[in-house]
């Protein structure tokens, strides 16, 4: 029988009310009342916060002349939850049957270790899950079943769910998922397939005999895709079934598609859909169970533990009755900070500690529980905050006086959020500010502002945000901020812009940079920076003298940016390695380092490379010296981290290993250290921070919820006393790819108990995320809405019917909350750009590095946190070009590209044919592609251009050299089309793959096209009318829109 819990006191602290200060005083007071400093346990969630807590408590004790107790406090268990757990595990290692010398896997290394350990398990399931992923449309939504398997393992371990229970989780998941479908069709799967196959064939034949209206292009393309897949004998993806069932066509063409739509509409009742869903869920859990077992065995064999292991083993120590007396000798008082960010496993730890310690104090703010995506359970921590003190005879302290925000901001937050928080069960006195410690003396103007952003897309909205910041900085006295006991005008370092997702962060940061403002933001990966590239290339060449690419990169980086001919000539010479090495002034010194590898650590080689290359001097000449030196220090830090990981994994640390390790990782660039930089980050990253002025972005974007995906379920209400009880994993798969509406399952899921619960949870988390954003400012809060759209993100505050928060139109003077006006400035803002000062960032990179430097804020479409993607609109230009034999597609692509660049359709057929023959012969592909077919590809391209841009001017092979986001973009646009309204970008790609891969291949080039569009827009001031991927081999033109959201 489990021991009763001792006293738990709760401190509920609203944002900015001095939570850390209060916790320091509480710990000091406990010591003054007789608590043994060496028996104190205090946990936080970051290493930095833990160090700060220790030092502040010790400083408080020293100030009270209790020096001995301050020294004794060094023996206390104060740190992150993981470090405190790890110390317990080490002290009780013998009782656990483990070595006390286990190595801890760093969080960033965990995916790699898991992949190595679970490789066999994942490979065994790959064939079946790959096929099911295609049929169920996971690739359309950028989902990878391997990542999902890892997520199953992570959630299971942090919720105390053993792999033996995965089969039950799978069965419960399948039962609920299949209940969303209608009754199974009476017809067999074979009959339903045959019916659709027949109707597709008839519709294709009917369409071939008539001229379809332009509005039927999408429906016709779906038919052709289905025909191709069926001809190969493959199963149609369920997304294509859904698309065929609801064709969008003009009325005149409806008859052609009607029978196909009827046959495809059977998808929801299709027996194979049930089979596919069941197999995917069951195989996913089975693979996860095998992988989890393999991962645990892998760690055990090597003496490794990860953070979850530390917590789970610590919980085992705390629950073992035989350890009770010894634990009481070492744990007297427990203090938990940020309890609302705890996982269920961590709450279980704190609950068990409360059965041992004579007193526990849990400090947190349920209103700031925003990390559900990391596995926290807001419902669990909310019940703990409400019930722990009352159930154990403890006290509850409310911190409600804001030491951060001015009175007007506190009043606004109270009016906006108290009703929504009361609806979740939080009492008013636990949610509202009772007042502000400061007053408005010297702070002229209202604390609220509303910016109506002009524009039509995300890039223009970001430019408008930058324009608003520039306008505010141009009139600093209109935005006074507090400093010490006085007030001063606004500076750029006072401003933070909070965004909903990483894509938005990149857009806003780039727009601010174009305005000449310093920006602090996570700028892509470290090795996008040229100084880091130079060191990495030198390391590669030292490790492998035959790495010619490393030599080329060094020659380009240290060469004259205005003259690309030297390294190109060297590369084309009879002795390219010697010629390239002659262009690298420190090549001999690097040769000398190669012989020192055996007697030096990789970190020592890195330091030597930095010295012999003179990269410090080179980087300083490139401008932005402080930032570039920070990058070089980060490279040294990465080498040190590699050495530490090798020591933990008991593997040799070699230079070749370091080179491979750096290539396999994405090491982020350190944020700018400039105190005058405008801070740009997501709402989530802003938690715990504050600024004088905060701009909230994307309020026009409504929050979304979905019951599909992987989730932790709990039978009944979460029990904070036993938080791991009755938990299981639910996996619901959305089988229709980007087809999100009118497929039966969308409506049934939304109306289900699980769907309604998911919507409620998402709404409550959206309220808390808004609260975090609106409680960051000290002096001014700016609310932004874009393009005249309503502020849909604020709809989550509407709990009593009607609109709770109303934003004023431009020129009006108040934000109305629950009928109460709050004074505000409301203005329309538009984008502005100005050149950066010449001495800030001079041009320094050769054109060949444009692709690397063109993305200072580069975003990959699969790492995105904000759900989004590239919309692909495909136009058929004609059939596939006939190719003879098995040509080298790279050479063929270069040949076609060259001909498209020089062909003139106005010439006669003879001269054009001669030109095509000469180009194809020059590239050695004349036997693979006939000149007439190259001409046909060119004719198709020009016909498309005449239809889409009839009055436009067409430029080919246009060099681009522009400043985007404070760095150079250097490259060449294959085709630039300009008319009176703006411009369009075209890129030729010789992709020869299957029809079902075209859209994904075209979409993969969206970031590159978006960057070129930004560069052209920054130079011409024109608007981008479209970005296109031209695939001449397969006869397709794909329009990609990087700003579009997937269906």
Whether residue 511 is found in the same domain as residue 653:
no
Q: Which helix (H) or strand (E) holds 334?
A: strand 333-336
Burial 877-895 (b: 16+ CB within 10 A, else e): beeebebeeebebeebbbb
Residue 748 has pLDDT above 80, yes or no: yes
In three-state secondary structure terms, 434 is: coil
Nearest Cα to Cα of residue 1009 among 1038, 982, 980: 1038
Residue 632, classed as helix, strand or coil, is helix
Q: What is the structure's pLDDT at 523? A: 62
What is the maximum span of the chain, computed from C-alpha positions, in angstroms? 101
N-to-C CA span, the chain = 53
Task: Please provide residue 896's backbone torsions phi and psi, each rounded to the nearest 5 degrees.
Answer: -60, -40
Same domain, 386 and 419: no
Q: What is the 3-state secondary structure (H, E, C) of 877-893?
A: CCCCCCCCCCCCHHHHH
Question: 783 and 822 share a domain?
Answer: yes
Residue 733 belongs to some domain of the structure? no
pLDDT at 783: 97
Query: Residue 828 phi/psi, 5° resolution?
Result: -90, 135
Q: How many CA atoms lie within 13 A of 213 on its CB side?
A: 12
* Separation between Cα atoms, residue 237 and residue 668, nearest integer Å: 37
**DSSP symbols for 85-101:** HHHHHHHTHHHHT--TT
Residue 192 pLDDT grade (very low, low, confident, very high; cuts 50, 70, 90): very high
Question: Do residues 1005 and 894 both lie within one domain?
Answer: yes
Domain-terminating residue out of 253, 269, 285:
269
Q: pLDDT tens for residues 219-239? A: 999 999 999 999 998 999 999
Distance of CA 154 to the CA centre of its chain: 18
* Measured CA angle at 221 (ends 215, 226), to 5 deg: 140
Q: What are phi and psi of 805, to 5 degrees?
A: -115, 120
Measure the CA–CA gap between 1021 and 310, rounded to whole angstroms.
Answer: 56
Regarding whether 901 and 1012 lie in a shared domain, the answer is yes
Q: Where are the alpha helices (DSSP H) in 307-457?
A: 307-319, 324-330, 344-354, 378-392, 407-423
Q: Are 376 and 711 in contact (CB under 8 A)?
A: no
Domain that holds residue 23: 7-102+305-399
| Assigned domain for 920 exists | yes
pLDDT category at 852 given cuts 50, 70, 90 is: very low
Same domain as 389, residue 243: no
Which string of b and e fits 340-375 if b means at least 16 CB within 10 Å?
bbbbbbbbbbbbbbbbbbebbbbbbbbbbbbbbeeb
Q: Is the distance from CB of 778 to CB of 692 less than 8 angstroms?
A: yes
Q: What is the pLDDT of residues 290-299, one digit of tens each?
A: 999 999 999 9
Q: Are residues 542 and 518 in the same domain?
A: no
Can you give the pLDDT at residue 97? 86
The pLDDT tens digits for 663-679 are 877 777 677 767 889 99
Question: Do residues 957 and 1021 share a domain?
Answer: yes
What pTM was estimated for this model as a whole? 0.74
Are residues 628 and 602 both part of a single domain? yes
Percent of the residues in the chain that have a pLDDT greater than 70, as a whole number? 94
Q: Is the pLDDT of residue 542 over 80?
A: yes
Q: What 3-state class would DSSP assign to 429?
A: helix
Same-domain status, 514 and 530: no
Domain count for the chain, please give it: 5
Indicate the DSSP class of residue 689: -
User: Tokens 């401003």 appear where?
Assistant: 495
Give the pLDDT confidence of 339-365 residue by residue, as tens digits.
898 899 999 999 999 999 999 999 999
Instruction: Identify whether 762 is part of a domain.
Output: no
Is 542 within 8 Å of 587 (Cβ atoms)?
Answer: no
Contacts (Cβ under 8 Å, ≥6 apart) of 641 = 106
- Asked if residue 532 belongs to a domain, the reply is yes
- Structure-block tokens of residue 22: 């209060």
Instruction: Work out the angle at residue 371's Cα, subtended by the Cα atoms of residues 368 and 377, and round it to the nearest 5 degrees.
Output: 90
pLDDT tens-digit readout, 968-992:
777 888 999 998 789 999 999 888 8
For residue 955, the domain's CATH number is 3.90.320
CA 934 and chain centroid, separation: 42
- Position 876 scores a pLDDT of 87
Domain-embedded: residue 909: yes
* Greater model confidence, 614 or 649: 614
Cα separation, 450 vs 808, whole angstroms: 8
What the block records as the tokens of 445 is 């103007």
pLDDT band at 2 (very low <50, low <70, confident <90, very high): low
Annotated binding site: 13-20
- Both structure tokens of 178: 């299949």
Burial 788-813, CB ≥16 within 10 A → b, else e: eeebebbebbeeeeeebbbbbeeeee
Which residues have a Cβ under 8 Å from the Cβ of 942 and sit 6 or more positions away? 905
SS3 category, 160: coil
- Answer for the pair 334, 353: CB distance below 8 angstroms, yes or no: yes
Average pLDDT of the chain?
87
Show which of 399, 424, 452 is a domain's final residue.
Answer: 399
Sequential DSSP letters for 371-383: -GGGT--HHHHHH
Residue 70 lies in a domain: yes
Q: What is the distance of C-alpha 512 from the center of its chain? A: 21
Residue 77, domain CATH: 3.40.50.300
Q: Is the pLDDT of residue 279 over 60?
A: yes
Residues 414 and 390 occupy one common structural domain: no
Q: In this structure, are residues 605 and 596 in contact, taking their beta carbons and an 8 Å threshold? A: yes
Q: What is the DSSP string of 525-545?
A: BGGGSHHHHHHHHHHHHHH-T
CA–CA gap between residue 553 and residue 658 (Å, rounded) = 19
Calpha distance 923→920 (Å, rounded) = 5
Separation of alpha carbons 676 and 842, rounded Å: 20
Residue from 777, 768, 14 nearest 400 by CA: 14
CA–CA separation, 400 and 12 (whole Å)? 9
Q: Is 112 exposed, middle or buried (0-12, 13-18, 19+ CB in 10 A)?
A: middle
For residues 508 and 554, state if they share a domain.
no
233 Rama class: left (phi>0) / alpha (psi -120 to 50) / beta? left
β-sheet bridge partners, residue 453: 786, 829
Decide which of 604, 630, 664 is a domain's last residue: 664
Q: Which helix (H) or strand (E) element contains residue 61?
A: helix 47-63
pLDDT for 870 equals 64
Report whether 359 contacts 7 (CB < 8 A): yes
Residue 462 tokens read as: 């970001």
Could you give phi then psi for residue 741, rounded to 5 degrees? -130, 155
Q: Give the angle 1001-1004-1007 at the CA atoms, nearest 5°.
A: 150
Write a three-state SS string for 642-664.
HHHHHHHHCCCCCHHHHHHHHHH
Confirm whether 763 is domain-assigned.
Answer: no
Taking Cα atoms as reference points, which of 895, 926, 899 lies closest to residue 911?
A: 899
Q: What is the pLDDT of residue 100?
A: 78
Give the mean pLDDT of 782-797.
Answer: 94
Per the CB < 8 A criterion, the answer to whether 799 and 419 are in contact is: yes
Contacts of 835 (CB under 8 A, 6+ apart): 516, 963
According to the model, what pLDDT value does residue 967 have?
Answer: 66
- Residue 93 has, within 13 A of its CA and on its CB side, a CA count of 12
> How many beta carbons lie within 10 A of that of residue 431, not counting itself?
24
Residue of 344, 396, 431, 400 whose CA lies nearest to 8: 396
Q: Is 382 domain-assigned?
A: yes
* Dist CA 881 CA 992 (whole Å): 9
CA distance 239 to 242: 5
- Residue 467 has a pLDDT of 95
Report the CATH number that the domain containing residue 612 is assigned in CATH.
1.10.486.10
From the list 401, 460, 464, the residue with the least C-alpha distance to 435 is 401
- How far is residue 441's CA from residue 432's CA, in Å, rounded to a whole number? 23
Residue 509, CA distances (Å) to 523, 585, 624, 679, 1018 in order: 9, 36, 17, 9, 15
CA distances 491 to 246, 463, 478, 479, 494, Å, are 55, 19, 12, 9, 5
Q: Convert the pLDDT of each residue in 958-974 to its tens digit.
A: 888 887 766 677 788 89
Residues in CB range of 245: below 8 A, 6 or more apart = 261, 264, 265, 267, 743
Q: Out of 115-129, 758-772, 1031-1045, which region has the weakest mean confidence (pLDDT)?
A: 1031-1045
| pLDDT tens-digit map of 456-490 | 888 999 999 999 999 999 999 999 999 988 999 99
What is the average per-residue pLDDT within 539-568? 85
- Binding-site residues for ATP, please? 13-20
Average pLDDT over residues 1024-1034: 90
């Amino acid at each position: 029988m489990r021991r009763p819990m001792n006293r738990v006191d709760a401190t509920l602290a609203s944002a900015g009310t001095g939570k850390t200060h209060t916790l320091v005083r509480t710990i000091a007071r406990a010591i003054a009342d007789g608590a043994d400093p060496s028996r104190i346990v205090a946990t936080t969630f970051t290493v930095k916060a833990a160090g700060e807590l220790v030092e502040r408590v010790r400083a408080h004790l020293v100030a009270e002349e209790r020096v001995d107790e301050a020294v004794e406090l060094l023996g206390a268990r104060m740190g992150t939850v993981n470090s405190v757990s790890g110390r317990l595990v080490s002290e009780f290692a013998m009782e656990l049957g483990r070595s006390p010398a286990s190595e801890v896997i760093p969080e960033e290394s965990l995916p790699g270790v898991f992949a190595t350990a679970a490789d066999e398990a994942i490979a065994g399931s790959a064939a079946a899950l790959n096929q099911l992923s295609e049929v169920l449309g996971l690739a359309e939504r950028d989902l990878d079943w391997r990542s999902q398997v890892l997520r199953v393992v992570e959630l299971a371990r942090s919720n105390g769910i053993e792999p033996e229970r995965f089969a039950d989780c799978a069965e419960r998941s399948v039962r609920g998922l299949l209940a969303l479908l209608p009754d199974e069709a009476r017809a067999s799967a074979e009959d339903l397939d045959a019916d659709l196959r027949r109707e597709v064939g008839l519709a294709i034949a009917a369409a071939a005999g008539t001229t379809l209206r332009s509005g039927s292009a999408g429906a016709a393309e779906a038919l052709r895709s289905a025909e191709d897949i069926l001809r190969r004998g493959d199963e149609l993806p369920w997304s294509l079934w859904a698309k065929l069932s609801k064709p969008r066509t003009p009325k005149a063409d409806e008859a052609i598609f009607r029978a196909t739509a009827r046959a495809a509409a059977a998808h929801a009742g299709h027996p194979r859909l049930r089979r596919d869903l069941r197999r995917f869920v069951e195989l996913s859990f089975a693979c996860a169970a095998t992988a989890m077992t393999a991962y645990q065995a892998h760690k055990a064999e090597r003496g490794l533990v990860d953070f979850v292991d530390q917590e789970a083993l610590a919980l085992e120590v705390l629950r073992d009755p035989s350890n009770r007396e010894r634990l009481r000798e070492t744990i007297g008082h427990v203090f938990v900070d940020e309890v609302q960010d705890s996982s269920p496993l961590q709450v279980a730890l704190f609950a068990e500690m409360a059965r041992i310690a004579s007193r526990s104090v849990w400090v947190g703010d349920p209103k700031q529980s925003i990390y559900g995506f990391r596995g926290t359970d807001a419902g669990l921590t909310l019940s703990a905050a409400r019930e722990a003190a009352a159930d154990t005879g403890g006290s509850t302290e409310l911190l409600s006086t804001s030491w951060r925000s001015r009175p007007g901001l506190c009043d606004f937050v109270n009016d906006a959020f108290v009703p929504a928080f009361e609806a979740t069960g939080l009492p008013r006195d636990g949610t509202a500010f009772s007042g502000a410690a400061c007053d408005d003396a010297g702070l002229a103007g209202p604390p609220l502002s509303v910016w109506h952003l002009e524009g039509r897309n995300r890039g223009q909205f970001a430019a408008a945000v930058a324009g608003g910041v520039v306008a505010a900085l141009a009139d600093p006295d209109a935005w006074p901020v507090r400093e010490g006991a006085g007030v001063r005008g606004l500076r750029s370092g006072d401003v933070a812009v909070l965004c909903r997702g990483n894509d938005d962060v990149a857009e806003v940061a780039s727009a601010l940079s174009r305005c000449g403002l310093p920006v602090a933001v996570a700028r892509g990966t470290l090795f996008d920076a040229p100084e880091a590239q130079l060191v990495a290339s030198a390391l590669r060449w030292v490790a492998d003298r035959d790495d010619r690419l490393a030599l080329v990169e060094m020659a380009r980086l240290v060469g004259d940016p205005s003259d690309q001919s030297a390294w190109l000539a060297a590369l084309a010479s009879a002795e390219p390695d010697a010629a390239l090495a002659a262009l690298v002034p420190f090549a001999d010194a690097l040769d000398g380092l190669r012989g020192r590898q055996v007697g030096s650590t990789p970190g020592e080689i890195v330091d030597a490379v930095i010295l012999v290359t003179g990269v410090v001097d080179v980087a300083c000449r490139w401008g932005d010296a402080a930032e570039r030196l920070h990058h070089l220090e980060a490279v040294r830090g990465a080498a040190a981290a590699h050495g530490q990981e090798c020591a933990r994994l008991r593997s040799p640390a070699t230079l070749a290993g370091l080179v491979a390790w750096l290539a396999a990782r994405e090491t982020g660039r350190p944020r700018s250290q400039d105190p005058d930089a405008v801070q740009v980050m997501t709402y989530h990253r802003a938690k715990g921070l504050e600024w004088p002025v905060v701009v909230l972005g994307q309020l026009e974007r409504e929050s979304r919820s979905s019951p599909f995906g992987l989730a932790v379920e709990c039978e009944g209400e979460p029990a904070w006393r036993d938080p791991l009880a009755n938990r299981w994993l639910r996996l619901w798969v959305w089988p229709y790819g980007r087809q999100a509406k009118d497929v039966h399952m969308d409506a049934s899921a939304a109306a289900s108990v699980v769907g309604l619960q998911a919507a409620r949870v998402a709404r409550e988390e959206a309220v808390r995320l808004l609260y975090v954003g609106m409680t960051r400012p000290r002096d001014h809060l700016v609310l932004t809405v874009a393009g005249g759209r309503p502020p849909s993100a604020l709809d989550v505050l509407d709990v009593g019917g009607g609109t709770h928060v109303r934003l004023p139109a431009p020129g009006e003077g108040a934000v109305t909350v629950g009928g109460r006006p709050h004074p505000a400035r409301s203005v329309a803002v538009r984008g502005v750009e100005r050149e950066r000062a010449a001495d800030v960032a001079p041009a320094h990179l050769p054109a060949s590095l444009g692709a690397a430097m063109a993305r200072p804020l580069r975003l990959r479409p699969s790492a995105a946190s904000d759900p989004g993607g590239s919309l692909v609109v495909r136009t058929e230009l004609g059939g596939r070009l006939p190719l003879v034999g098995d040509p080298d597609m790279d050479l063929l692509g270069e040949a076609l590209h060259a001909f498209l660049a020089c062909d003139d359709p106005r010439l006669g057929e003879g001269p054009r044919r001669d030109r095509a023959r000469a180009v194809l012969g020059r590239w050695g592909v004349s036997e693979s592609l006939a000149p007439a077919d190259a001409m046909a590809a060119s004719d198709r391209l020009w016909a498309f251009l005449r239809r889409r841009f009839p009055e436009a001017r067409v430029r080919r092979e246009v060099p681009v050299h522009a400043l985007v986001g404070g760095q150079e973009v250097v490259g060449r646009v294959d085709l630039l089309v300009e008319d009176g309204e703006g411009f369009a970008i075209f890129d030729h790609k010789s992709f020869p793959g299957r029809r079902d891969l075209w859209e994904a291949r075209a979409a993969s080039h969206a970031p590159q096209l978006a960057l070129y569009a930004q560069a052209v827009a920054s130079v011409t001031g024109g608007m981008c009318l479209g970005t296109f991927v031209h695939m001449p081999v397969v006869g397709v033109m794909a329009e990609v829109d990087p700003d579009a959201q997937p269906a």
